[in-house]
């Protein structure tokens, strides 16, 4: 084999190896890009979950007259008292998504003057209110009506949070299920009574629904 043929063969091999290298490099870049996109997607999902928890905790704090404390990943503590304060949580989410931090901060409740009274109202109303079910022709508890697990009395705001954030079938939290209580898990009006548990009952409304705020703020036994 003469030198010219060897030279051409060498050049062909070099070009072949060059294109293989380029192909591997492109594939590597694509895989890296896919990995980065997947990582960002996971972080966005985790940030969404963290932000949703903050919003639900904020909503619950308003219902029971408590305050919500947010401690960010740097250790700074903020009171979340209105929706403008929620921007502190948005900042935490963004810093996590962009990789500026590898962890989230935390939430905690601070009970207010009326918190225990409102939790007491909620316990009593969940245990004693009955809603008429037209199809089954009988009264049901709120938990039965909304197709939730049997209600167990809660003693403080942290237990209340565990109950309200619990997701019933189809991924819907209890706080969402109780937003508006009507006929058979719908927002349709129905007859509502208060059952004292001793054979005595009181009609609360002949044709209505009950909102989440009322379950905390109204003592229907009176």
* Spans of all domains in the chain: 3-110, 115-217
Strand partners of residue 186: none
Return d(Cα 192, Cα 130) in angstroms, integer: 6
pLDDT of residue 29: 58
pLDDT of residue 46: 93
pLDDT of residue 39: 74
Low-confidence ranges of the chain (pLDDT < 70): 1-14, 16-36, 38, 168-170
pLDDT of residue 96: 93
pLDDT of residue 9: 64
Going by C-alpha positions, the residue among 58, 59, 60, 62 that lies closest to residue 70 is: 58
pLDDT of residue 172: 86
């Amino acid at each position: 084999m003469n030198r010219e043929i060897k030279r051409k063969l060498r050049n062909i091999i070099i070009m072949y190896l060059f294109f293989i290298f380029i192909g591997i490099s492109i594939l590597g870049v694509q895989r890296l890009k896919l990995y980065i996109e997947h990582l960002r997607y996971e972080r966005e999902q985790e940030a969404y979950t963290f932000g949703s928890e903050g919003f639900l905790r904020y909503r619950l704090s308003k219902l029971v007259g408590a305050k919500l404390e947010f401690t960010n990943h740097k250790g700074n503590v903020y009171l979340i008292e209105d929706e403008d304060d929620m921007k502190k949580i948005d900042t935490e989410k963004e810093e996590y998504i962009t990789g500026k931090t590898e962890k989230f901060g935390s939430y905690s409740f601070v009970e207010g003057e009326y918190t225990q009274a409102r939790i007491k109202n909620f316990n009593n109303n969940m245990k004693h209110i009955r809603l008429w079910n037209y199809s089954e022709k009988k009264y049901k508890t709120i938990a039965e009506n909304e197709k939730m697990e049997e209600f167990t009395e809660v003693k403080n705001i942290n237990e209340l949070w565990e109950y309200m954030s619990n997701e019933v079938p189809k991924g819907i939290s209890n706080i969402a299920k109780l937003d508006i209580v009507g006929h058979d898990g719908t927002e349709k009006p129905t007859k509502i009574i208060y059952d004292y548990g001793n054979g005595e009952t009181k009609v609360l409304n002949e044709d209505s629904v009950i909102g989440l705020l009322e379950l905390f703020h109204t003592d229907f036994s009176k």
